[in-house]
Amino acid sequence: MIDERKELKIQAYLDGELTIFGRYKVNRLLAHNAEARRLHAELNSIQELLHHNELDHPLPEDKESFRTRITHQLRVEGEGTSRVPNRIRPVLKWVAASAATALIIFAGVYSLMSPENSNQTPAHVLLGGESIEPEAANASFITFKSESAKLSVVWVDTKSSPVASPIN
Amino acid sequence: MNIIKSMNALLILVVAVLFSQHAVSLNADEAYDVNVRVQLIWGTNGENPYPDKLKELEDKLKDKLKSVFKWKNYFEVSRHDIGLKKDRTKRIRISRKCELELTFTGDSNLEIKLFGEGKFVNKVRQSIAPDEHAIIAGDDKNDTAWFIAFSFQPPEKEKDNKTR
């Protein structure tokens, strides 16, 4: 016996209103319940009948509906410029921002590594250090960790801080 | 006369008690929780300007530094093996201008305070794995660099000594 709730589910299934999980549940119902299959076939045939025999009778367009249509069209065209689904867009933005930051850091570090830029800090990999509390005014520090070399480095920018070189 | 003898005996007793307490505290200090090796290193692309003072850095650490930094040659300026007890701080001078305060805060965590010309520069809290090195470094004159390398050493090297 198909109850009203299941009937509504089958109807929603035919109308394409269900989520993937909902469709999965209805598929299972149809696979195991003959009455559900019968109802599904019946509703499907009604839907197809209505679809194919619907009269195409356009209503006269008033000012309000014209404005709504144009607004809708503009919005659709605006969205159409991006092929990325809305829910992926924030993730992509985050990835793009992270990639850009990583690229900038990498470019900076790479340029520092080259002998031509020997005035600046050399490093391969930038990573967070454990914890640094700079005290000196204008002191700047870069922390990075090389997993391959097993080195954690705190690079003290002695050009902007009053750190005395310990060599001298 | 008896009073003087008694006073002398009391004085000897007090001195003996104080000495024994000091001896106990010395023994207690030698039972360190960790041993930290601190190496002051100089990196350069040039040759060793002071072969008598600067020793070639050991290959393992040199290779690590070479794989990260641009300098080709690394020389050890000084080395200190420091025994540390948990939550106790030791201050060491590694060069004429630079001092460090080291505190072992448990597990593999080391707190390092760097002082340049007597001024506190920064504090670093670093977790150092047994085969890892923590480095504090900076530029030096003529396109060279200084490095202070910290590493935990096996227990048998429990001596607070300066090798050079």
Q: How many domains does chain B have?
A: 2
Contact A125, A147 (CB under 8 A): yes
Q: Rounded to whole angstroms, how far apart are CA atoms B37 and A121?
A: 25
Q: Per the domain annotation, does A26 fall within a domain?
A: yes
Q: Are residues B27 and B54 in the same domain?
A: no
Instruction: With a cut of 50, say whether residue A129 has pLDDT above it.
Output: no
Instruction: With a cut of 60, say whether residue A85 has pLDDT above it.
Output: yes
Q: Are residues B117 and B75 in the same domain?
A: yes
Contact A164, B117 (CB under 8 A): yes
Is the predicted ipTM greater than 0.90, yes or no? no
Q: Are residues A94 and A48 in the same domain?
A: no
Q: Which domain holds residue A89?
A: 85-121
Q: How many domains does chain A have?
A: 3
Read off φ and ψ for residue B37, nearest 5 degrees: -100, 125
Q: Per the domain annotation, does A68 fall within a domain?
A: no
Give the tens place of pLDDT for each residue, A14-27. 888 888 888 888 88
Could you give the dihedral angle defined by the CA atoms of residues A127, A132, A135 and A140, in that order, rounded to the nearest 10 degrees?
Answer: 0
Q: Which domain holds residue B109?
A: 33-156
DSSP state of A116: G
Under the banding of pLDDT at 50, 70 and 90, the label for residue A111 is low
Q: Per the domain annotation, does A59 fall within a domain?
A: no
Q: Are residues B75 and B149 in the same domain?
A: yes
pLDDT at A118: 39
Instruction: With a cut of 60, say whether residue A92 has pLDDT above it.
Output: yes
> Which contiguous run of DSSP H or E holds residue B83?
strand B73-84
CB pairs under 8 A between A and B: 143
Probe site for chain B from A112, A151, A159, A160 (most B CB atoms < 10 A): A151
CB within 8 Å: B140 and A165: yes
Q: Are residues B39 and B64 in the same domain?
A: yes
pLDDT at A81: 58
Q: With b meaning 16 or more CB within 10 Å and e meaning fewer, what string describes B58-75?
A: eeebbebbbebbbbebbb
Instruction: With a cut of 50, say whether residue A116 has pLDDT above it.
Output: no
The pair of structure tokens assigned to A42 is 């019946």
Lowest mean pLDDT among A15-29, A48-62, B135-149: A48-62
Contact B107, B127 (CB under 8 A): yes
Give the tens place of pLDDT for each residue, B16-49. 655 555 544 444 446 888 899 999 999 999 888 8
pLDDT at A124: 33
CB within 8 Å: B70 and A150: no
Q: Are residues B101 and B22 in the same domain?
A: no
Q: Rounded to whole angstroms, how far apart are CA atoms A168 and B36?
A: 23
How far B123 CA lies from chain A's nearest CA (Å)? 5
Instruction: With a cut of 90, say whether residue A34 has pLDDT above it.
Output: no
pLDDT at B29: 47
Instruction: With a cut of 70, say whether residue A114 has pLDDT above it.
Output: no
Q: Rounded to whole angstroms, how far apart are CA atoms A100 and A95?
A: 8
Instruction: With a cut of 60, say whether residue A135 has pLDDT above it.
Output: no
CB within 8 Å: A166 and B124: no
pLDDT at B101: 93
Q: Rounded to whole angstroms, how far apart are CA atoms A73 and A65?
A: 12
> Which contiguous run of DSSP H or E holds residue A2?
none
Classified as helix, coil or strand, B156 is helix
Instruction: With a cut of 60, say whether residue B164 has pLDDT above it.
Output: no
CB within 8 Å: B68 and A123: yes
